[in-house]
Amino acid sequence: FKFIILFLLGIISCKSQQVYPLNASAFRTPTNSYFKDLNNELDPYIGTWKGTFQGNTTTLIITKELKRSYEMFGKNFFEDVLIIKYEVKDTNGNILQTSLNAVYPTGGSVKYLIISTGTNRDSNNEVNLAYAGGNCGAGGGEIKFQKISNTQFYWSYYPGVTTRNDVTCPPNLDYHIYLPETENLVFTKQ
Protein backbone atom coordinates (compact mmCIF):
# COMPACT_ATOMS: atom_id res chain seq x y z
CA PHE A 1 0.00 0.00 0.00
CA LYS A 2 2.85 2.42 0.84
CA PHE A 3 4.42 1.67 -2.53
CA ILE A 4 1.22 2.66 -4.37
CA ILE A 5 0.96 5.97 -2.49
CA LEU A 6 4.63 6.79 -3.16
CA PHE A 7 4.18 5.88 -6.83
CA LEU A 8 1.12 8.17 -7.16
CA LEU A 9 2.91 11.02 -5.39
CA GLY A 10 5.84 10.57 -7.76
CA ILE A 11 3.56 10.83 -10.79
CA ILE A 12 1.84 13.93 -9.40
CA SER A 13 5.14 15.66 -8.63
CA CYS A 14 6.45 14.91 -12.13
CA LYS A 15 3.38 16.57 -13.61
CA SER A 16 3.51 19.58 -11.27
CA GLN A 17 4.08 22.95 -12.82
CA GLN A 18 7.48 24.62 -12.46
CA VAL A 19 7.28 28.25 -11.28
CA TYR A 20 9.89 30.80 -12.40
CA PRO A 21 10.28 34.58 -12.02
CA LEU A 22 9.03 36.76 -14.88
CA ASN A 23 12.42 37.27 -16.50
CA ALA A 24 13.53 33.66 -16.51
CA SER A 25 14.34 32.33 -19.96
CA ALA A 26 11.78 30.04 -21.55
CA PHE A 27 14.48 28.43 -23.70
CA ARG A 28 15.61 25.83 -21.15
CA THR A 29 12.47 25.54 -19.05
CA PRO A 30 10.08 22.62 -19.28
CA THR A 31 6.73 22.70 -21.05
CA ASN A 32 3.93 24.29 -18.99
CA SER A 33 6.35 26.36 -16.90
CA TYR A 34 4.72 29.33 -15.19
CA PHE A 35 6.51 32.69 -15.25
CA LYS A 36 4.96 34.32 -12.21
CA ASP A 37 5.13 37.91 -11.00
CA LEU A 38 6.74 36.77 -7.74
CA ASN A 39 7.89 40.27 -6.74
CA ASN A 40 4.72 42.12 -7.85
CA GLU A 41 6.72 44.08 -10.44
CA LEU A 42 3.62 44.54 -12.61
CA ASP A 43 1.30 45.79 -9.87
CA PRO A 44 2.41 49.48 -9.84
CA TYR A 45 1.15 49.85 -13.42
CA ILE A 46 -2.37 48.55 -12.83
CA GLY A 47 -5.05 51.24 -13.17
CA THR A 48 -6.08 54.13 -15.39
CA TRP A 49 -3.40 56.48 -16.74
CA LYS A 50 -3.41 59.57 -18.98
CA GLY A 51 -0.82 61.32 -21.09
CA THR A 52 -0.97 64.12 -23.66
CA PHE A 53 1.15 64.33 -26.81
CA GLN A 54 0.78 66.77 -29.71
CA GLY A 55 -2.68 67.80 -28.49
CA ASN A 56 -4.05 64.25 -28.29
CA THR A 57 -4.89 62.65 -24.96
CA THR A 58 -4.19 58.95 -24.53
CA THR A 59 -5.94 57.02 -21.77
CA LEU A 60 -4.53 53.63 -20.79
CA ILE A 61 -6.52 51.03 -18.85
CA ILE A 62 -3.98 48.55 -17.50
CA THR A 63 -4.95 45.21 -15.96
CA LYS A 64 -2.93 42.23 -14.84
CA GLU A 65 -3.80 38.80 -16.20
CA LEU A 66 -2.53 35.83 -14.23
CA LYS A 67 -1.25 32.70 -15.91
CA ARG A 68 -1.90 33.69 -19.53
CA SER A 69 -0.91 30.82 -21.82
CA TYR A 70 1.36 31.17 -24.84
CA GLU A 71 3.55 29.03 -27.08
CA MET A 72 7.27 29.42 -27.75
CA PHE A 73 9.96 27.03 -28.97
CA GLY A 74 7.17 24.54 -29.73
CA LYS A 75 6.23 24.39 -26.02
CA ASN A 76 3.34 25.78 -23.98
CA PHE A 77 4.00 28.22 -21.13
CA PHE A 78 2.07 30.45 -18.73
CA GLU A 79 2.94 33.97 -17.64
CA ASP A 80 1.54 36.84 -15.58
CA VAL A 81 1.17 39.80 -17.96
CA LEU A 82 -0.13 43.33 -18.21
CA ILE A 83 -2.87 43.86 -20.80
CA ILE A 84 -3.22 47.47 -21.91
CA LYS A 85 -6.34 48.85 -23.53
CA TYR A 86 -6.28 52.43 -24.75
CA GLU A 87 -8.23 55.32 -26.18
CA VAL A 88 -6.78 58.29 -28.05
CA LYS A 89 -8.81 61.52 -28.31
CA ASP A 90 -8.08 64.74 -30.16
CA THR A 91 -8.30 68.23 -28.61
CA ASN A 92 -12.06 68.33 -29.29
CA GLY A 93 -12.68 65.05 -27.46
CA ASN A 94 -13.26 63.04 -30.63
CA ILE A 95 -12.13 59.41 -30.36
CA LEU A 96 -9.37 58.78 -32.90
CA GLN A 97 -8.77 55.15 -31.92
CA THR A 98 -9.91 52.89 -29.09
CA SER A 99 -9.40 49.35 -27.89
CA LEU A 100 -11.39 49.76 -24.66
CA ASN A 101 -14.04 47.23 -25.75
CA ALA A 102 -11.59 44.73 -27.24
CA VAL A 103 -11.37 41.19 -25.88
CA TYR A 104 -8.06 39.35 -26.11
CA PRO A 105 -8.53 35.62 -25.49
CA THR A 106 -5.43 33.47 -25.88
CA GLY A 107 -5.09 32.61 -29.56
CA GLY A 108 -7.73 35.17 -30.54
CA SER A 109 -7.64 38.57 -32.23
CA VAL A 110 -4.62 40.71 -31.43
CA LYS A 111 -5.55 43.95 -33.23
CA TYR A 112 -4.58 46.84 -30.92
CA LEU A 113 -3.26 44.41 -28.28
CA ILE A 114 -0.55 45.76 -25.98
CA ILE A 115 0.90 43.07 -23.70
CA SER A 116 3.90 42.95 -21.39
CA THR A 117 6.83 40.79 -22.47
CA GLY A 118 9.31 41.29 -19.64
CA THR A 119 10.32 43.43 -16.70
CA ASN A 120 13.40 45.18 -15.47
CA ARG A 121 15.70 43.62 -18.08
CA ASP A 122 18.30 46.35 -17.64
CA SER A 123 17.73 46.88 -13.88
CA ASN A 124 15.97 50.15 -14.63
CA ASN A 125 12.39 49.81 -13.31
CA GLU A 126 11.13 49.14 -16.82
CA VAL A 127 8.35 47.00 -18.26
CA ASN A 128 8.75 45.90 -21.88
CA LEU A 129 5.62 45.52 -24.00
CA ALA A 130 4.69 44.43 -27.49
CA TYR A 131 2.08 46.27 -29.53
CA ALA A 132 0.38 44.21 -32.25
CA GLY A 133 -0.65 47.29 -34.21
CA GLY A 134 -3.88 48.43 -35.81
CA ASN A 135 -5.25 47.48 -39.21
CA CYS A 136 -2.89 44.97 -40.88
CA GLY A 137 -0.44 45.44 -38.00
CA ALA A 138 0.21 49.13 -38.76
CA GLY A 139 2.23 50.63 -35.91
CA GLY A 140 3.14 47.29 -34.37
CA GLY A 141 6.30 47.53 -32.33
CA GLU A 142 7.79 47.90 -28.87
CA ILE A 143 6.65 50.03 -25.94
CA LYS A 144 8.51 50.60 -22.68
CA PHE A 145 7.14 51.86 -19.38
CA GLN A 146 9.67 53.17 -16.88
CA LYS A 147 8.38 53.89 -13.40
CA ILE A 148 9.05 57.44 -12.14
CA SER A 149 6.91 57.29 -8.98
CA ASN A 150 3.77 55.59 -7.68
CA THR A 151 1.68 57.98 -9.81
CA GLN A 152 3.79 58.46 -12.95
CA PHE A 153 5.75 56.51 -15.54
CA TYR A 154 7.57 57.27 -18.78
CA TRP A 155 6.16 55.90 -22.05
CA SER A 156 8.50 55.19 -24.97
CA TYR A 157 7.06 53.76 -28.19
CA TYR A 158 9.07 52.39 -31.11
CA PRO A 159 6.85 51.31 -34.03
CA GLY A 160 8.36 48.79 -36.40
CA VAL A 161 8.29 48.88 -40.16
CA THR A 162 5.04 47.52 -41.58
CA THR A 163 4.45 46.56 -45.20
CA ARG A 164 1.05 45.94 -46.64
CA ASN A 165 -0.49 44.93 -49.92
CA ASP A 166 -3.82 45.90 -51.40
CA VAL A 167 -5.06 42.30 -51.52
CA THR A 168 -5.05 41.46 -47.80
CA CYS A 169 -4.94 45.08 -46.58
CA PRO A 170 -7.35 47.17 -48.67
CA PRO A 171 -6.46 50.84 -49.13
CA ASN A 172 -9.73 52.06 -47.60
CA LEU A 173 -8.70 51.08 -44.04
CA ASP A 174 -7.14 53.50 -41.56
CA TYR A 175 -3.40 52.81 -41.23
CA HIS A 176 -2.57 55.89 -39.17
CA ILE A 177 -0.64 55.39 -35.92
CA TYR A 178 -2.51 57.20 -33.14
CA LEU A 179 -0.46 56.08 -30.14
CA PRO A 180 2.13 58.69 -29.09
CA GLU A 181 5.30 58.00 -31.11
CA THR A 182 7.80 59.44 -28.68
CA GLU A 183 10.18 58.69 -25.83
CA ASN A 184 9.77 59.57 -22.14
CA LEU A 185 6.19 60.83 -22.35
CA VAL A 186 4.85 61.12 -18.80
CA PHE A 187 1.66 59.22 -17.99
CA THR A 188 -0.12 60.07 -14.73
CA LYS A 189 -2.34 57.77 -12.69
CA GLN A 190 -5.97 58.89 -12.51
Give me the pLDDT at residue 180, please: 98
Q: What is the DSSP letter of 44?
A: G
Q: What is the mean pLDDT of the chain?
A: 88
Please report the pLDDT score of residue 2 as a whole number: 47
The 8-class DSSP code of residue 43 comes to G
Q: What are the backbone angles phi and psi of residue 27, rounded to the nearest 5°?
A: -60, -45
Q: What is the pLDDT of residues 10-68, one digit of tens each?
A: 444 445 669 999 888 888 899 999 999 999 999 999 999 999 999 999 999 999 999 99
Inform me whether the pLDDT recorded for 134 exceeds 70: yes
Give Cα separations from 170 to 85, 96, 159 (angstroms): 25, 20, 21
For the chain, give the percent of residues with pLDDT over 90. Answer: 65
Q: Find the largest Cα–Cα distance for the chain.
A: 75
* Res 170: pLDDT: 86
